[in-house]
Amino acid sequence: MRLSLYITILFCLFNALTARAQKWLPGSFTDNKGNTETGFVRIDPPGKAPVKTEAFIEFRENEKMNPIKLSAGELRSVKAGIDSFLVAYAPGNQNWNGKELDFVKVVLDEDIKLYLGKGSRGGGFGITPGLSGGFGAGSGTYGGVGGGVGIALGGRGGKSKTMYYFGANTAEMQPVSPANFNDIMSDIMIDEPEVVEQIRMNKYNLGNIEKLIEYYNKSKASRQQ
């Protein structure tokens, strides 16, 4: 009985998240020449990509306009609602479901930035973590392996996983992993000593990173008031 209820709840949650991902949101894009257009953006549209090896968005200036598809290779950045996304190549030897270019969400815009994007498997660049985990190879100063969080997406669909990445910019992105989590997140959140202390006490990990991000944002906002 409990299992059946749990599955029903997960199914309803998935449908709600899928519908949300496919909604048109007020937003803008900046193309690779630096021109910015404002209107409405859909970040996980259905249908065939204009360029097979690149993710894409749909854009329209107003609700009456027919949407146009824009490939990642044409863009530098995208804003959709309150979220910002940058165009990026998959770091290292990872494969973003056959896509050479995709979008990563800017989660924390600090000196060392925290990004959220696709893992080494999966469909579109959905933003909402689910319940399962996965790992892909990683390297660099902080070492370790890259950890991912399983998700299910609509649009370009299929089961996917998202991963958190860090770096001064998208060209320097590396995966956040269980092995480097404490060091990475402490460096990113260094301006909030109380938050860093909680990280060092192992109160947070990849499994509850969203709670850590929320804690950090609240701590930073309260200090700035």
The pLDDT tens digits of the residues spanning 41-77 come to 998 898 899 999 999 999 999 988 999 999 999 999 9
* pLDDT at residue 138 greater than cutoff 50: no
Question: Is the Cβ–Cβ distance between 139 and 173 less than 8 Å?
Answer: no
Question: Is the Cβ–Cβ distance between 162 and 148 less than 8 Å?
Answer: yes
What pTM was estimated for this model as a whole? 0.74
Question: Is the Cβ–Cβ distance between 167 and 173 less than 8 Å?
Answer: yes
Can you tell me the distance from the alpha carbon of 69 to that of 75, in angstroms, rounded to the nearest whole number? 11
Can you tell me the distance from the alpha carbon of 49 to that of 41, in angstroms, rounded to the nearest whole number? 15
* CA-angle at 17, arms to 15 and 23, nearest 5°: 105
What pLDDT digit, counting tens, does each position of 5-21 carry?
444 444 444 444 444 44
3-state secondary structure of 40: strand
Question: Is the Cβ–Cβ distance between 142 and 167 less than 8 Å?
Answer: no
Question: With bands split at pLDDT 50, 70 and 90, how would you rate the model's confidence at 27?
Answer: very high
Would you state the pLDDT for residue 5? 47
Which H helix or E strand runs over 26?
Answer: strand 25-31
